[in-house]
Amino acid sequence: MSKAFIKESDEDDDAFEQAPALPAGSKNYMTRSGWAALKVELDQLVKTDRPALVQVVSWAASNGDRSENGDYIYGKKRLREMDRRIRFLIKRLEAATVVDPGEQENVDQVFFGATVTISQVAGDAGSADETYQIVGVDEADASAGRISWISPLARALLKAHAGDSVRFHSPAGLREIEIVGIRYD
């Protein structure tokens, strides 16, 4: 079958992860460190990775027959993925509302950027305390203790005080936790 009748999917093997969509009408809150990390990634892609890839694609194109040239075909696909990620990062950085947790005035209540230590109220009494920082959707990493402000746990914690017990629906079912400590770094 001729390649003219085959549509390449832009969704196949997307090398760059996309952050979850923000709730409609909400701001894209981000910590300073999260904004800086996205900016570093954007600069790396624009100044180093993309020019190097364009050079490879140009070399592959100069080799002749492009229809069976793996370097050219893969390079063009990779270039499209990279351009998509660059556009995504530019939009996210432009729409970002940077919040510095260290400037929070009401430090006895949970707001964006807070680092919250929680413990289980019911169920597993022997479980250890857990600590999470509430961050933007682009910088969330649950394994590192950074949860998105739109996650069920973060939404339950927002505006609570130390010593409060809160309930929320998790994928494992209804959970009740107690806020042990709040700090802003």
Say if residues 102 and 185 touch (Cβ distance below 8 Å).
yes
DSSP 144: G
Which CATH architecture does the domain made up of 101-183 adopt? Roll (3.10)
The per-residue pLDDT for 103 is 87
Cα–Cα distances in angstroms (integers) from residue 33 to residues 37, 46, 67, 90, in the given order: 6, 20, 44, 16
Burial pattern 105-130, b for ≥16 Cβ within 10 A else e, equals eeeeebbbbbbbebbbeeeeeeeeee
pLDDT in tens, the chain (185 residues): 445 444 455 444 445 556 666 767 678 899 999 999 999 999 999 999 999 999 999 988 888 777 778 888 899 999 999 999 999 999 999 989 999 888 888 888 999 999 999 998 766 555 688 999 999 999 999 899 999 999 999 999 999 999 999 998 888 888 899 999 999 98
Domain boundaries, the chain: 28-98, 101-183
Tell me, which fold does domain 28-98 have in CATH?
Helix Hairpins (1.10.287)
Rounded to the nearest 10 degrees, the angle between the axes of helix 32-44 and helix 70-95 is 150
